[in-house]
Chain A
Amino acid sequence: MNLTWLSSNLSWILELTLAHLWLTLIPTVVGLALALPLGWWAHQVPRLYGLIVGTSGLFYTIPSLAFFVLLPGVIGTRILDPINVVIALTIYTLALMVRVVADGLAAVPRETVEAAEAMGYRAFQRFTRVQLPVAVPVILAGLRVAVVSNISIVTMAAIIGVQQLGSLFTQGYSLGLMTPILTGIILCLLIAVVLDLLILGLSRTLTPWRPAAVRSGKGVLA
């Protein structure tokens, strides 16, 4: 490790880390927020399931670098605007989470939902008070996959000049220096572990009713 490089670039590295966090978190949160109603819809109307899951699957097919470059042409943003990265990642997250939400809701025991219906819960109340809480473990397990993938995908944007931890890779490559690259990789992995554990902890907090043995599942990265 080249400590001189490291110490002289500390504030830049911090800047990149913060940018990386925003570029990862905003799409993850927005993607999840959009996936909840869409996933519920796909679950309620079985005929839509194939359409919604299939269409979102097609978005997943498009390689991320190509997606970053193509978006401006479709939505009229500037080609190097970070907003392209945010939108592309939001779509990826949405594509992954729609299916997870629909499948998670489908896994809620039918008797539980019927009991709520028989007790007089309205459709929206059933969703927010019964189905969603019970589906939390499945949904958050999916979100852990999404967030960890997003952290890695964001780095690709360095190629088109969007500043985040990936910029350390391009910087290191052009300088022929290993230190920035390794620093970038380590920080990416660190963020991944921290966010993964945060969601895991959230999942356990939201589901105190699950048996401890089930809740003590390992992190995605463990």
Chain B
Amino acid sequence: MSIIQIKNLSKNFGRRTAVNDISFDIEAGSLFGFIGPNGAGKTTTIRVLTTLLKPSAGQVLVDGHSVVKQPREVRKVMGYMPDFFGVYNDMTVWEYLDFFCGCYEIEFNQRKSLISDLLELVDLSKRHDDYVDSLSRGMKQRLSLARSLVHDPKVLVLDEPASGLDPRARVEFRELLVELRRLNKTIFFSSHILSDIAEICNQVGIVEQGNLISVGHIDTLKRQLRETHHIRLRVMGDTVERAKSILATSQGVGEVEADPASDGDWDIIAEFSGDKPAVTTLLKQLVLADVPILSFAAETDSLEDVFMKLTEGGIL
């Protein structure tokens, strides 16, 4: 069942089109990664989704509620974490969360335990009474996530949550999102850091210049790109030319490059499009031709490769 439905969404700012007729659905319980370069229309889409911006055309439904006609209903089921952390001066961590509990009309007698649980979830229990502006950026991001969870929303919308975090904080933040998905939250999460999305998301949408280039499961996306792999092998000594000629004449092999490695060995990288049996056939051919192979690996494309290929401009 789709919890977020975006139908023919467009947003223009004057003559400039920020989002151009995009449509996709997100299943309940998904961890959806929204990828695109800066200026692609990610934040504009998120601002429409979170009832902050009126669309020029199209319809956006969250849990069946229109973001334009029923913004309050949408806000009740959604937690939003922007790409910046707004700071109220002179406020402690506890007071910050208590304030938002008040905004979400959570009963006063429930707040103490709720805030304790949330701080424990984001590992900030020890900073309970610290001033918010004294926290590090990573801690502020985690506090912001706790803030977006005070009303136990069905949907979490996170705009570039990992930006500006150090590698350790990024890993911790990713783990938190996985944990939240386990708690059956639907997470809509934008980023231009592909590794963040590749490691945790089960669905992705790729946008460029306001257009939705592709949307679906990561594995499906890779298949859409005809399973292009790279074959990487290391061969001994002067057999490099023989190996190259066998590879060049084999079916499915594209460009072949060879670079000298240590101890007189050679590394060969060959573009290869074919399925698993084709990979084993290629290896068999090399072995039968007495090529002394030290290592052999078929590498599938990373999400980064998929992204680069999709955003080359030709695939729309």
| A and B: bona fide binding partners | no
CB within 8 Å of B: which residues of A? none
CB within 8 Å of A: which residues of B? none
